Amino acid sequence: MFGPDSADVLTAAESRIPDVPGPYPVDMVAYPASKIAALNASEAWMKEHGEEIGFDLVSIAPSFVLGRNEQAQKPDDLLTSTTLLLLNMLLGLHSPSPLPSSVAHIDDVAHVHVASLDAEKIPGNRVYLVSSDGLKGAAWATAKEIVKQDFPQALKKQWFVLTGTQPTVWNTVDASETEKVFGIVHKGFETQVKGTVAQYIELKKMEENSVAHIDDVAHVHVASLDAEKIPGNRVYLVSSDGLKGAAWATAKKIVKKDFPQALKKQWFVLTGTQPTVWNTVDASETEKVFGIVHKGFETQVKGTVAQYIELKKMEEK
């Protein structure tokens, strides 16, 4: 983003750019400028004080990071990080701004961060680049071909639309020293795309017919803070009504049976439709670990509808 826009300019661990002073026209200029300033300042501080302190400095510089986000609980959660840049194109959007060809897999970024804590094995006071697909990187548009080949059902459901565009500006990044020092081979762009897309599809499927009661969600969030009782480094699914979930249309029967007065007042009209696509979610481990039985769809509907009626009554007064 700063300096010559040319694939002939090599970015290596020793490459440096002077601080870029503000004001900055957009966030995407301010962001890399902050990274440049942070690296320059930290290295300058170490140069001045390095002999006085008992530690060294390892700086990790990943390219655009793609792959699974284990914190994501719904599809939109994948549209709030660098995966947004990939998914926007696959959702049919058009970006006018090219992105650098250098990309990195989240697994490699995490591995390098953790492994760098071993001062006996990893030389300090260096910058380690995390970037895949050799010196030249990858063309963002090739992600559409990967989706076309490996995820045809998602295209049939129109979860992805391959009319979007994301231009690539080629740059040259040499991350070979990182591979040598950490004993890894960077996972390539194809693996990054497949991981990101597969997770998006998983979350879309969970969204379709799997439901959860807010009480269960709140309980699991709070109880998970007890590290002595709740095993960590796991994903806990919160989803009711067994493996198959619930049919959304059954909510109309529940309202008809339990809230006839609301129907008389025409607060609800049972002519609406909401199709269900059946998927299978096994949340039994969550019930076992947290000692709960998920509250079912009927309870969820009754609670939601009852609150709506209470608020409507308050409005009347």
Per-residue pLDDT of 131-149, as tens digits, reads: 999 999 999 999 999 999 9
Instruction: Enumerate domains of the chain plus CATH numbers.
Output: 10-208 (3.40.50.720), 210-316 (no CATH)
User: Is 78 within 8 Å of 160 (Cβ atoms)?
Assistant: no
Q: What pLDDT score was predicted for residue 209?
A: 66
The closest alpha carbon to 55, from 9, 104, 132, 116, belongs to 116
pLDDT higher than threshold 60 for residue 5: no
Alpha-carbon gap, residue 177 to 135, rounded angstroms: 12
**Is the model's pTM score more than 0.85?**
no
Mean pLDDT throughout 264-280?
89
Calculate ∠ Cα 205-296-270, nearest 5°: 80
16 φ/ψ sector (left φ>0, alpha ψ -120 to 50, else beta): beta
User: Is 296 within 8 Å of 271 (Cβ atoms)?
Assistant: no
pLDDT in tens, 63-96: 999 999 988 888 999 998 899 999 999 999 999 9
pLDDT higher than threshold 80 for residue 206: no
Q: What pLDDT score was predicted for residue 204?
A: 87
Mean pLDDT throughout 140-164?
96
